[in-house]
Amino acid sequence: MDNFESVNDILEFAISEEMAAWNFYNQMAKKARNPEIKKTFETFALEERQHQKKLEEIKEFAEAFSPEIVTDMKIAECLIPVEPTPDMNYQAAITYAMKKEATAMKLYTLLATMTTEPKLKAVFEALANEEAKHKLRFEKEYEEEILKED
């Protein structure tokens, strides 16, 4: 979906992305053997669920924020083209998670630039910042656990 006709469409897309992230982190938490890694994935799942709830609250008032039509936002450029597999190893899961967080950060940054409503802009900027923090945590984990093994 790279064309949206309303803010509601944008929020629906963002909510579905947060739900997918929540699902991914829950699956990875169930597979994790290391208790610290399991807790990290569980924490991320909880944070993604909180992002989803924030977006759902905003969606209730979406029409009041911005009634104009938004088209050709190039959201497809922010999508991850591959799906995780049930048998992916830890390195692949961390790599996927880093890319997913980077994609979410780009999405929310883009959405923040596309809105003229200050409150909505602030929410998207806050979500972009949260996703950037998630990405950094995965990058640190990758550096500490994967790169040191190589």
- Rounded to two decimals, the pTM is 0.70
1 located within any domain: no
Q: For 40-55, what is the mean pLDDT?
A: 91
- pLDDT of 52-100, one tens digit each? 998 888 877 665 555 444 444 555 455 455 567 777 788 888 888 888 8
- pLDDT of 114-131, one tens digit each? 877 788 888 888 888 888
pLDDT at 149: 64
Alpha carbon 127 to its chain's center: 8
pLDDT at 1: 42
Q: Tokens 């992305």 map to which residue? A: 17
Answer whether residue 49 shows pLDDT above 90: yes
54 located within any domain: yes
113 located within any domain: yes
2 located within any domain: no
Distances (CA, A) of 98 to 28, 82, 92, 105, 140: 13, 13, 10, 11, 10
Structural domain count, the chain: 1
